[in-house]
Amino acid sequence: MKAEIISIGTEILLGDILDTNTNYIAQRLPGLGIDLYTTHQIGDNLERLTELLRVAWSRSDVILCTGGLGPTEDDVTRDGIAAMLGETPEVDQRLEEELRQWFGRRGAHMPERNLKQAWLTPSTKDIPNPRGTAPGWWSEKDGRIIIAMPGPPAEMSRMWDKEVAPRLRERATDAVIVSHTVKTVGLGEGTVDEMVSALLKSRNPSIGVYAKADGIHLRITAKAPTEAEARELIAPVQEEIERILGPAVWGHDDDTMELAIGRLLRERGLTLATMESATGGLLASTITDAPGSSSYFRGGLVAYATEQKIAWGVPAEVVEQHGVISPECAKAMAAAAHAQLHTDIGVAVTGVAGPDEQEGKPVGTMHVAVHDGFDDHVISYQFAQGREAAKRRAVTVAFQLLRRVLLARG
Amino acid sequence: MKAEIISIGTEILLGDILDTNTNYIAQRLPGLGIDLYTTHQIGDNLERLTELLRVAWSRSDVILCTGGLGPTEDDVTRDGIAAMLGETPEVDQRLEEELRQWFGRRGAHMPERNLKQAWLTPSTKDIPNPRGTAPGWWSEKDGRIIIAMPGPPAEMSRMWDKEVAPRLRERATDAVIVSHTVKTVGLGEGTVDEMVSALLKSRNPSIGVYAKADGIHLRITAKAPTEAEARELIAPVQEEIERILGPAVWGHDDDTMELAIGRLLRERGLTLATMESATGGLLASTITDAPGSSSYFRGGLVAYATEQKIAWGVPAEVVEQHGVISPECAKAMAAAAHAQLHTDIGVAVTGVAGPDEQEGKPVGTMHVAVHDGFDDHVISYQFAQGREAAKRRAVTVAFQLLRRVLLARG
């Protein structure tokens, strides 16, 4: 079964919004045995949308559209699908009634323009959308399917999970595609590529090497009649990759650095606290993105003002002698987090997030430290690619240092 | 000048990475007077890529490619462009030399497969890439341009800003498109649409209404021979929109809630501190995404463990009587942040980020409080759309409450 995704909205082409819906759907197609060959973004232009729909309809078994189902004049997805199918949309009585009730429950009067959200065509059934006013469209004709889902990600993802994916799963009869990702840190992309080069010739499973913010990932992808058979193809290749890359492997699939760190802390029965300035709370926030982090993370201090660092236990002499942008201050902050929150480990970040330099130290200067009750560990580096990227990078470096310290504790 | 963007990489179609490059480029084309009609994502498949390039080449003046310039066998962008142009790539001596030096400076030996990063064709010039090993490609033939940039966003964005955009600016001679966005909060999309419906008929400037996480945005877009003329078309419409929507307007263009809150705090000479549990540091981190936030943000406490909330000043009685998931605890946390960090304002978040319920309160329960030294303000709500979405939502609600309190202080 061949699929094509089309995201509709001039705001996407103007760069006003980032299209995350395509990524959400793309991640979920392989598990349904559906191949995705191409995706498109197109504006709120009825003529161009209809033309693209015609081309996609001629070559794909299923077209997945998102966006353009709102109540405004710009929202042309229904019009485009109807034109491509050669049908005329009409207001459906039941949908109109449901729509008026939706507004009624909120004590609001339905604007007349919302009526187009009650449209259907002869080949179209509606798809329920309890999170918004726009039902989806499921149209079938000549053995092909076109589906339209709303653009707001919360509405789209629910509709996909609860309505669209289960129905597509019944239709898709092709082989399933299963992937397994092995995540490494500490080796470059070319190095990893050379280390596993003998395996890269393999076609089923195939192996892709990707550079990511948290290291180099290897994706092993197998195609087979059933998921179990696909996993059997993957297993020996995965084992071989892990043997070759050894301790550089830190995780798999949906693993994140914060989950991996959480496992290491739990296995060792250790607790963690943070003190951060340059990252402004992002380190603590990322640690707590891991469900269950309350079992090892006690809390954190965001010491943005210098006096606040001192009030929370950084010796004033350290600040006087080395400044706050220094490895010494990072170490003192990690020790202070450890002491203030009575944890086994303290981790700290100080640096210059920008846009201005500080203490004469350039933007992007970062010092990351871990205090484990016995020793201090510190990494200092420079990363000047913007304030938010610098914050994210510092969090990744903190996780790498934490991992190294935790592994050394066995 | 008509443009088309193509992102290349099977990892995009598998949903393994989110394509942010298209968005980055899309945002920057209108200012160059370049129209973007459609964008595509396609996998590492030479045949399908070449076919898409042929179609794009037949209808667009400039094709902008990202990705597929790495050293691995999967990286087929150069092959695809050469095939589409009907040319054969060859190793360029100067590029090979530069590449070997790049590795040499890092004390590394160049893997032989990296040699393809030194390829050029007769119609192709290289584009410098100091952030990586893959130079870009700038190919011109028959009055059309095709540009290939690396996939890693840091390499791509630098190449775009420093090399590609300046050269395209010289070529593009059409009218420029200028946009201005007005951001509102507190009104629904349909309501805003009806309030400004008379203006929506306008074609130049045109007006789009978009629902975003931080409220409803109105985008006014004008096309004119020069930027100044475009801005003259926008000004009266913007004024009218602001008159109609009044205090619901909180910002413009690249404004973020954290920048808007920062302005309000600075104007009033007030300082801010946070205490958060459910958001785990994300509130503090988002506040400090605003450059210059150190002038009003002193710091924050991430009180993940209950004892930590009490250690930092939440009365034990409040926790005993109401639990930590309560409006009372949120208010006590805001007051404690205010007291601990000696600021004018304290803001706090407590709630159940999930995946498990807590104190018998369901996932998504959130209490957000502001203490301004005189009064407590609290918003309680329910938002169960996943842990990370719940954290982001709570930060937005905290900013809305802060804004309301700050505006009331005049």
What's the pLDDT band for B247 if we cut at 50, 70, 90?
confident
Distance to chain A for B217, nearest Cα, Å = 10
For CA atoms B255, B258, B259, B260, give the dihedral sign: positive
Strand partners, A210: A217
CB-CB under 8 Å, A279 with B285: yes
Which of A73, A289, A299 is the closest to B388 by Cβ? A289
Which of A190, A284, A355 is the closest to B302 by Cβ? A284
B369 and B273 Cβ atoms separated by less than 8 Å:
no
What are the boundaries of each domain within chain B? Answer: 2-171, 176-252, 257-408
Which of B133, B299, B308 is the closest to A303 by Cβ? B299
Give the right CATH number for B257-408 from 1.10.10.10, 3.40.50.300, 3.40.50.11540, 3.90.950.20.
3.90.950.20
CB-CB under 8 Å, B42 with A37: yes
Distance to chain B for A374, nearest Cα, Å = 24
- The CATH code of domain A176-252 reads 3.30.70.2860
Reported residue count of chain B is 410
CB-CB under 8 Å, A38 with B15: no
Distances (CA, A) of A10 to A29, A79, A244: 25, 16, 47
Neighbour count for residue A202 (Cβ, 10 Å): 14
According to the model, what pLDDT value does residue A109 have?
85
Mean pLDDT of chain A: 93
Which residues in A lie closer than 8 A to residue B15 (C-beta atoms)? Answer: 23-29
According to the model, what pLDDT value does residue B225 have?
87
The whole-angstrom separation of Cα A59 and Cα A57 is 6
Is a pLDDT exceeding 70 seen at residue B161? yes
State the best of B304, B341, B358 to mutate against chain A, taking most chain A CBs within 10 Å. B304
According to the model, what pLDDT value does residue A172 have?
72
- What is the DSSP annotation of A245-269? HGGGEEEETT--HHHHHHHHHHHHT
Mean pLDDT in residue range A329-342: 97
User: For residue B81, is it left (φ>0), alpha (ψ between -120 and 50) or beta?
Assistant: alpha
Which tokens go with A13? 């082409």
CB-CB under 8 Å, A30 with B14: yes
Neighbour count for residue B175 (Cβ, 10 Å): 16
Is a pLDDT exceeding 70 seen at residue A73? yes
C-alpha closest to that of B408 among B379, B375, B384, B380: B375
What's the pLDDT band for B174 if we cut at 50, 70, 90?
low
State the best of B6, B23, B75 to mutate against chain A, taking most chain A CBs within 10 Å. B23
Is a pLDDT exceeding 80 seen at residue A81? yes
Which residues in B lie closer than 8 A to residue A287 (C-beta atoms)? Answer: 280-281
State the best of B8, B21, B41, B252 to mutate against chain A, taking most chain A CBs within 10 Å. B41
C-alpha closest to that of B19 among A27, A347, A180, A10: A27
According to the model, what pLDDT value does residue A348 have?
98
Give the β-pairing of B249-252 and B176-184.
Answer: antiparallel
B75-121 confidence digits (pLDDT tens): 999 999 999 999 999 999 999 999 999 888 878 888 888 999 999 99
As to burial, measured by CB atoms within 10 angstroms (0-12 exposed, 13-18 middle, 19+ buried), residue B246 is exposed
Top-confidence residue, B23 or A190: B23
According to the model, what pLDDT value does residue B226 have?
86
B314-365 confidence digits (pLDDT tens): 999 999 999 999 999 999 999 999 999 999 999 999 999 888 899 999 999 9
Which of A26, A152, A298 is the closest to B211 by Cβ? A152
B212-229 confidence digits (pLDDT tens): 888 899 999 998 888 899
Distances (CA, A) of A74 to A68, A100, B206: 7, 22, 11
According to the model, what pLDDT value does residue B307 have?
94
Which of A114, A188, A193 is the closest to B72 by Cβ? A193
Distance to chain B for A148, nearest Cα, Å = 18
Q: Which one-letter DSSP state was computed for residue A110? A: P
B363 and B354 Cβ atoms separated by less than 8 Å:
yes
According to the model, what pLDDT value does residue A54 have?
96
* For chain A, counts of helices (H) and of strands (E): 16, 17
According to the model, what pLDDT value does residue A254 have?
87
Is a pLDDT exceeding 90 seen at residue B58? yes
Is a pLDDT exceeding 80 seen at residue A75? yes
Top-confidence residue, A394 or A105: A394
According to the model, what pLDDT value does residue B105 have?
85
Is a pLDDT exceeding 90 seen at residue A119? yes
Q: Which CATH superfamily is domain B2-171 in?
A: MoaB/Mog-like domain (3.40.980.10)
Which residues in B lie closer than 8 A to residue A341 (C-beta atoms)? Answer: 308
**E-state strands within A277-391:** 297-303, 345-351, 365-371, 376-382
Is a pLDDT exceeding 90 seen at residue B74? no
3-state helix, strand, coil in chain B (%, to 5): 45, 25, 30
**E-state strands within B122-193:** 124-127, 136-141, 144-149, 176-184
For CA atoms A396, A398, A403, A404, give the dihedral sign: positive
3-state helix, strand, coil in chain A (%, to 5): 45, 25, 30
State the best of B7, B14, B51, B396 to mutate against chain A, taking most chain A CBs within 10 Å. B14
B149 and B64 Cβ atoms separated by less than 8 Å:
yes
H/E element holding A139? Answer: strand A136-141
A90 contacts: CB under 8 Å, gap ≥ 6 = A119, A120, A121
Which residues in A lie closer than 8 A to residue B198 (C-beta atoms)? Answer: none
Mean pLDDT of chain B: 93
A353-379 confidence digits (pLDDT tens): 888 899 999 999 999 999 999 999 999
According to the model, what pLDDT value does residue A174 have?
67
CB-CB under 8 Å, B71 with A193: yes
Phi, psi of A138 (to 5 degrees): -125, 110
Reported residue count of chain A is 410
* For chain B, counts of helices (H) and of strands (E): 15, 17
Which of A43, A73, A304 is the closest to B299 by Cβ? A304
Distance to chain B for A171, nearest Cα, Å = 20
C-alpha closest to that of A66 among A123, A120, A16, A24: A24
CB-CB under 8 Å, A274 with B294: no
According to the model, what pLDDT value does residue A344 have?
97
Phi, psi of A299 (to 5 degrees): 155, 180
Strand partners, B126: B137
Give the β-pairing of A297-303 and B90-91.
Answer: unpaired
